[in-house]
């Protein structure tokens, strides 16, 4: 009987756990990969290309490191990071996945145990709850939030600031809060400023609100001493939720970005949101 040869996929990195990719449904049980899986894997690997040098830098300078992944979902990102980077460190470096859906947390815990990924923990918490939870270290080195919806991204930023994270990597998603405030105050602003025409129509309110949310987040991070880079994660043909924000703590001057943050909020009629995008 002819022995079946294992299926080879050039997309998969050397050393990648095939069992993990099957459990994440990137590979089928017989080792095949469909177009949707290729797209998903491409997004995660592309994000990994941004994160891996940051983790390597942290490990070179600080030794053991802790990464917290917010809005982890099925923990695609956390498992890939552990498989490609953390499992080779042979120290007490650790990944925490934070997720509100208990069934996903339970599944991730079982999968980590099955794969022997002892340096992974999963907590059934909201991002806001994780800020004060004693189940997490007082300080962490890196924070990620991949497609954490709406205010969960802001909560992840607050968590990172509280934990004095050296690196923050965000792919925001479904920003609705700012748009709702713009919509509420639109009539009042139209009478004051012709630039309100930028978001007068409902579709523009939604799109402008989404863009403005990320602008405010970047200013907030800069107002806390971070150097911020904004780029696209993958091509638009793969995902419309495409903006990647990478923040590196550099202890940069804070006064000017804090002033600009306040000016933007006031000029657009978002004074009530200062609590959300707080500066130092």
pLDDT tens digits, one per residue of 169-178: 999 887 889 9
Same domain, 100 and 146: yes
Tokens of 261: 């943050």
Question: Is position 4 within any domain?
Answer: no
Same domain, 186 and 147: no
How many angstroms separate the Cα of 245 from the Cα of each of 146, 161, 242? 10, 15, 10
- Tracing tokens 């934070």 back to the chain, one arrives at 98
pLDDT, tens only, 208-261? 999 999 999 999 999 999 999 999 876 444 444 678 999 999 999 999 999 999
Edge-first strand order for the sheet with 226-232 is 120-124, 94-99, 66-70, 142-149, 167-173, 243-249, 226-232
Same domain, 144 and 271: no
Question: Is position 1 within any domain?
Answer: no
- Domain of 194 in residue numbering reads as 176-224+251-280
pLDDT, tens only, 77-113? 899 999 999 999 989 999 999 999 999 999 999 999 9
The reported pLDDT for the residue numbered 236 is: 42
CB 273 within 8 A of CB 181: yes
Mean pLDDT, the chain, rounded, equals 88
CA distance 143 to 153: 11
Same domain, 77 and 163: yes
The CATH number that applies at residue 128 is 3.40.50.150
The reported pLDDT for the residue numbered 57 is: 94
- Tracing tokens 């998903």 back to the chain, one arrives at 40
CB 56 within 8 A of CB 129: no
Same domain, 149 and 261: no
**Radius of gyration from C-alpha coordinates of the chain:** 21
- What residues pair up with 145 in beta bridges, in sequence order? 70, 170
Question: Is position 235 within any domain?
Answer: no
Does the model's pTM come out above 0.85?
Answer: yes
């Amino acid at each position: 009987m002819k022995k079946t040869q294992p299926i080879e996929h050039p997309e998969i990195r050397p050393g990648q756990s095939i069992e993990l990719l099957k459990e994440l449904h990137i590979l089928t049980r017989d080792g095949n990969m469909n177009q949707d899986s290729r797209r998903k894997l491409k997004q995660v690997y592309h994000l990994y290309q941004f994160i891996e040098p940051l983790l390597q830098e942290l490990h070179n300078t600080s030794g053991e490191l802790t990464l917290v992944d917010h809005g982890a979902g099925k923990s695609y990102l956390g498992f890939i990071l552990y498989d490609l980077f953390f499992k080779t460190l042979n120290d007490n470096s650790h990944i925490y996945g934070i997720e509100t859906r208990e069934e996903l947390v339970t599944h991730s815990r079982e999968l980590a145990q099955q794969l022997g990924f002892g340096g992974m923990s999963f907590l059934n918490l909201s991002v806001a709850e994780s800020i004060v939870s004693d189940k997490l270290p007082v300080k962490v080195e890196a924070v990620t939030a991949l497609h954490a919806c709406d205010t969960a991204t802001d909560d992840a930023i607050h968590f990172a600031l509280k934990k004095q994270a050296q690196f923050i990597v965000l792919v925001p998603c479904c920003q609705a809060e700012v748009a709702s405030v713009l919509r509420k105050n639109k009539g009042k602003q139209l009478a004051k400023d012709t630039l309100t025409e930028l978001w007068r129509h409902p579709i523009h309110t939604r799109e402008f609100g989404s863009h403005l949310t990320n602008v405010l987040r970047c200013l907030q991070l800069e107002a806390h001493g971070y150097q911020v880079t904004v780029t696209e994660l993958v091509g638009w043909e793969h995902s419309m939720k495409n903006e990647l924000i990478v923040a590196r703590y550099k202890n940069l001057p804070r006064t000017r970005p804090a002033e600009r943050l306040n000016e933007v909020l006031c000029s657009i009629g978002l004074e009530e949101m200062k609590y959300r995008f707080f500066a130092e």
